[in-house]
């Protein structure tokens, strides 16, 4: 696919914006190292190209949820520090140790599995101990921390493990003033102090996600882990718009109209006939649906830019398509016309946040759920082969690369 080739649907991924977002976020946490969170196919943006772009802009760390995602980064030739945190018993510990990943451990069972793998591999595993400081999700509860720290120290003495990090995750960092933020920080500092008293010498202590990176400087410690903000989306509209933080949305989702037709007044539209035309009008068929990640909950509400005008989904969003009422004058619009579902928002198009509001969800879910049938087309890929940590100054141009690990909808151009 070239940039101007016809397409049904595509997600354009502006890697120049992604690099600028990483630089803007690093400037907010100038004393901390930076981790770009690239789990879930880089929140739907294509993991490998986004990881390379983040590295080029100074992300010394990359973070994934699953070990398989982290191993996919290695398989793509990406070196440097990569951390993964969502493990289940019997996971690929040995592969992770051999691939030099930083693996997170939230309980004794996981520490046992990683030390066993390290012994088998004949290497020292890089392990980060995760504390549950109040999120109530993954992480070691404070009551079990002493036992986990003691076991980790014993493994360090045995040479199977090096504890490289102590870390945790916030529950409510996107709600300014929420009392849980201060409470979690207090617990985190106590648990870190305890581990250090017991002899742990972590390279990095970290707890800050995107909202904390943006608005809570005393949570930055040695490393910040930003996900959604890397992709140019504000963690919460209450905190501010992307522009308020110097961020620019990275993904633009477009489709080409598959059919334009005149219909009379009183014509039902899409399953259930929840929309009925008021007068004679023109309907445009947008060939993406909930199988592509367009939320069915936004039926009748989702916004789309077509022919220079913002319009709304008419009736139900179906599996592969939805309809827009282009109005009585709409027949000047023809098949193949561009429908922009969302993008940065500065050319009149809606944003992922607009779709989130239409579907009563969060923008994280909108971008992450865009399906594998939609090719990711990566723009501004220059200097992407540099997987180290050098800044990528003065990069311009407009080449494409739809490489998108784990996404079978990819086209490489």
Ligand X SMILES: Cc1ncc(COP(=O)(O)O)c(C=O)c1O
- Interface with ligand X includes 210 (CB under 6 A)? yes
> Contact at 8 Å (CB) between 311 and 326?
yes
Choose the binding region for ligand X from 157-165, 219-227, 327-335, 371-379 (rule: CB under 6 A). 219-227
Contact pick of 34, 61, 85, 188 for ligand X (by CB under 6 A): 85
Q: What is the CA radius of gyration of the chain?
A: 23
User: Rounded to whole angstroms, how far apart are CA atoms 158 and 168?
Assistant: 26
* Residues sharing a CB contact under 8 Å with residue 239, sequence separation 6 or more, in sequence order: 174, 176, 211, 214, 215
- Interface with ligand X includes 345 (CB under 6 A)? no
Residue 162 a catalytic site member: no
- Interface with ligand X includes 245 (CB under 6 A)? no
- Interface with ligand X includes 169 (CB under 6 A)? yes
> Contact at 8 Å (CB) between 303 and 253?
no
- Interface with ligand X includes 228 (CB under 6 A)? yes
- Interface with ligand X includes 28 (CB under 6 A)? no
Q: Which of 162, 271, 275, 290 is catalytic?
A: 271
Q: Which is nearer to ligand X, 85 or 355 (CB)?
A: 85
Structure tokens at 85: 């945190």
Q: Which of 39, 52, 130, 162 is catalytic?
A: 39
Contact pick of 107, 235, 289, 345 for ligand X (by CB under 6 A): 235
Choose the binding region for ligand X from 88-96, 222-230, 312-320, 399-407 (rule: CB under 6 A). 222-230
Q: Which is nearer to ligand X, 227 or 289 (CB)?
A: 227
Pairing of strands 102-105, 125-130: parallel
Compute the least distance from the CB of residue 63 to ligand X, in Å.
6
Residue 290 a catalytic site member: no
Residues touching ligand X, count (CB under 6 A): 11
First to last CA, the chain: 5
User: Rounded to whole angstroms, how far apart are CA atoms 179 and 185?
Assistant: 10
* H/E element, 261: strand 259-263
Query: Nearest-CA neighbor of 13 among 392, 409, 375?
Result: 375
Catalytic residue ranges: 39, 271
Residues that bind ligand X (CB under 6 A): 37, 85, 169, 209-210, 225-229, 235
């Amino acid at each position: 696919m070239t940039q101007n080739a016809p397409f049904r649907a595509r997600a354009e991924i502006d890697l120049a914006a992604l690099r600028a977002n990483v630089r803007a976020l690093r400037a907010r946490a100038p004393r901390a190292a930076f981790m770009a969170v690239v789990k879930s196919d880089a929140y739907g943006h294509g993991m490998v190209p986004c990881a390379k772009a983040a590295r080029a802009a100074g992300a010394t760390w990359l973070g994934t949820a699953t070990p398989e995602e982290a191993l996919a980064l290695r398989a793509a030739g990406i070196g440097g520090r990569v951390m993964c945190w969502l493990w289940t018993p019997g996971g690929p510990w040995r592969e992770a140790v051999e691939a030099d990943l930083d693996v997170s451990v939230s309980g004794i069972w996981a520490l046992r599995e990683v030390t066993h793998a390290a012994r088998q591999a004949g290497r020292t595993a890089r392990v980060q101990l995760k504390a549950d400081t109040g999120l109530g999700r993954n992480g070691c509860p404070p009551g079990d921390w002493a036992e986990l720290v003691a076991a980790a120290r014993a493994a360090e003495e045995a040479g199977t493990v090096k504890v490289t990090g102590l870390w945790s995750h916030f529950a409510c960092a996107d709600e300014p003033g929420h009392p849980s933020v201060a409470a979690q920080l207090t617990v985190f500092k106590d648990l870190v102090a305890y581990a250090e008293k017991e002899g742990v010498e972590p390279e990095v202590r970290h707890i800050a996600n995107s909202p904390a990176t943006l608005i809570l400087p005393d949570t930055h410690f040695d490393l910040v882990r930003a996900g959604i903000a890397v992709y140019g989306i504000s963690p919460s509209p209450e905190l501010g718009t992307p522009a308020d933080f110097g961020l620019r949305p990275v993904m633009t989702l477009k489709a080409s109209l598959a059919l334009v037709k005149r219909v009379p007044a009183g014509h039902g539209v899409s399953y259930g006939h929840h929309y009925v035309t008021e007068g004679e009008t023109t309907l445009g068929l947008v060939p993406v649906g909930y199988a592509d990640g367009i939320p069915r909950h936004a039926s009748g509400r989702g916004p789309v830019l077509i022919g220079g005008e913002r319009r709304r989904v008419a009736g139900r969003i179906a599996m592969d398509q939805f309809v827009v009422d282009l109005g009585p004058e709409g027949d000047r619009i023809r098949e193949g016309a561009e429908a922009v579902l969302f993008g940065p928002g500065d050319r009149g198009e809606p944003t992922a946040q607009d779709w989130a509001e239409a579907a009563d969800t969060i923008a994280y879910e909108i971008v992450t759920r865009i399906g594998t049938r939609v090719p990711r087309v990566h723009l501004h890929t220059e200097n992407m082969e540099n997987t180290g940590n050098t800044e990528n100054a003065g990069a311009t141009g407009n080449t494409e690369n739809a490489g998108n690990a784990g996404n079978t909808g990819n086209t490489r151009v």
